[in-house]
Amino acid sequence: VSITCSHVGLDKETILNRLADSQVQQLAHRFSPLGGGDSGSRFRPGRGFQNMKLIVGIDEIEGLRGMSLKLLGIMRFLEMYPEQRNSIVIKQIGVRLDSRPDDYLSTTNEVNKLIARINKRYGRKIIEYEERSSICLNERLALLKAADIFLVTPVRGG
C-alpha cells in the first residue's frame, strides 16, 4: 500500500495566458451583458441587459452538488431584495455526468421546474439555463471573465 499527498491547483501563468487569448476575449465579450451576444455565442443576453449584473454558475447535474439548493437560494434572495429583480441576469450551466442516471433524471427535472418557476414568477428570463455534456476551458474562462459574480455553492464536492 502506498499513500501520497498530491496538491492540486491551478497554474497561474497558464490561466493568465489563456485569459489574454483573443478567443477567450471574444467569447467574454459575447457573454457580457454589454457585449449583447451574437449568433456565435451560446448565451445571448440581448437588449435591455446593459445595466444588469451577470451572475454565472457552472455546476455538475448531481443531487449532491446542490444546484437545486442554489436555485432556492436565488429565489429567496429575489423575495428578500425585490429591488434586485431587475438588476441581475443569471447564466447557469449544468454539466451532465454519465454516472448515476437516476440521480441525473431527478435532479435535472427538479432544476428545470425551479428555473421555470423563478422565471415565471418574475415575468422575465432571470435565469438562462443550458445543459451540456462538457464545457471547454476557454469557454469557462470567458464566462468567468464576463461575470460580475461567479456563484459556487456545492453541498458536497470532491
What does the alpha-carbon distance between residue 58 and residue 143 come to, in Å, rounded to a whole number? 9
Q: What is the pLDDT of residue 109?
A: 95
Which band of pLDDT confidence, cut at 50, 70 and 90, is reported for residue 158? low
* Beta strand pairing call for 149-150 and 88-95: unpaired
pTM for this predicted structure? 0.81
